[in-house]
Structure 1
Amino acid sequence: METVYDWVTVAVFAGLAVLFLQRSSEDRPRDKIVHYLPPALGCAVSNYLGNEGYMLPAVGMTVATMAYIYFVLKPFDRASEEGD
């Protein structure tokens, strides 16, 4: 792990893995495993672009990946947890 892209993408991926493990242990999981594929690929592509020197595309991909996680996977959505 040599670049900032390595650290950021690994941190985002680790958070994604924790979210998946937490949600997969629910009685009725609200996500499918395929929903986690785009952000996982986004982390990989962003890391690759950053390591190859493409700073703006790498940052854009990282922001897009985090937006997908926030708007599609909704990690901070407490309303659906309270209804159960």
Structure 2
Amino acid sequence: MEEQCIRVVVSGRVQGVNFRASAQEQAKSKGISGYAKNLSNGGVEIVACGDESAIEWLVEWLHKGPAQARVDEVKVESIPYKPRKEFSVK
């Protein structure tokens, strides 16, 4: 399987609803590295690197998020692959 990295910006009610920690939990369960951080505009940015099928699975999950979240939009872009050690919350 091919490794890839993506940058995702999720908007909606995604801050203060455990979105970053839940994304971290999901990513770690699939062996994905990267990070999730809050943006000043109320969105969450996720950088995820790993196996192509695991990344696809995470993007599907990001369209739903945790139970308390309301996801309005998910923007995904490919970025140059940079191996990372783990998935962190910033």
Give the TM-score band, short-chain normalised.
Answer: 0.3 to 0.5
Name which one, 1 or 2, has greater alpha-carbon Rg.
1
Scaled by the length of structure 2, what TM-score is found?
0.32
The structure whose residues are more often strand, as a share, is: 2
| Larger helix proportion of the pair | 1
Q: TM-score, normalised by structure 1?
A: 0.34
